[in-house]
Amino acid sequence: MERDSYIEGIRSAWLGEQFGEVFFKAMADRAEDESMRAAWQTLAKLENVTGKTMAAVLEAHGETAVADEAIEIGNEVLDEYSGASHHDSMMRMKDVVEKAIIRFDQLLAVAPEPDVPSVQFLVHHEQALLTFVDREIAGDHAHALEGVEKLLEQAP
């Protein structure tokens, strides 16, 4: 992967974190169940922390981390998730997260040494999201956020 492709991958990850934070906040706003509202808010916090980490990587490479436009989540996307069963929403999310892990593992494989801890955090954040989703699918809501919370404690 060339430098430009690597930087574009980091920028894409950064933008994905911006999107994820807005999405999770919107899901929290729509949640009727207090424990799910709190879970969505925790996931939004993880996206925020990971986004800041990716912004720092971009800036270390002389790039800017400024979104050209405000990120908005369309009602149709929110309706798709909040209108579906919890299980179906988690299955959709699982697919997105698994694809992200593959992309981020590829970035990690070519990350320059100074970037490795930050890109590793990016991978770990997706793995924590996958654990959350898997536990929610299994009906283990009480322990679903443990990996996310642990990662937030270790955040750079």
DSSP 40-78: HHHHHHHHHHHHHHHHHHHHHTT-----SS-----HHHH
Digit-coded pLDDT (tens) for 21-38: 999 999 999 888 999 999
What predicted TM-score, i.e. pTM, was given to this entire model?
0.91
The pLDDT of residue 69? 60
- Whether residue 16 is predicted with pLDDT greater than 80 in this model: the reply is yes
Separation CA 47–CA 27 (nearest Å)? 13
- Whether residue 61 is predicted with pLDDT greater than 90 in this model: the reply is yes
Looking at every residue in the chain, the average pLDDT score rounds to 91
The pLDDT of residue 68? 63
The pLDDT of residue 104? 96
3-153 is a CATH 3.40.50.460 domain: no
SS3 83: coil
Query: Which of 34-43, 73-82, 135-144 shows the lowest per-residue confidence on average (mean pLDDT)?
Result: 73-82
The domain ranges of the chain are 3-153
Angle at 136 (CA atoms; ends 135, 138), nearest 5 degrees: 65
Higher pLDDT, 67 or 112: 112
Average pLDDT value for residue range 138-152: 96
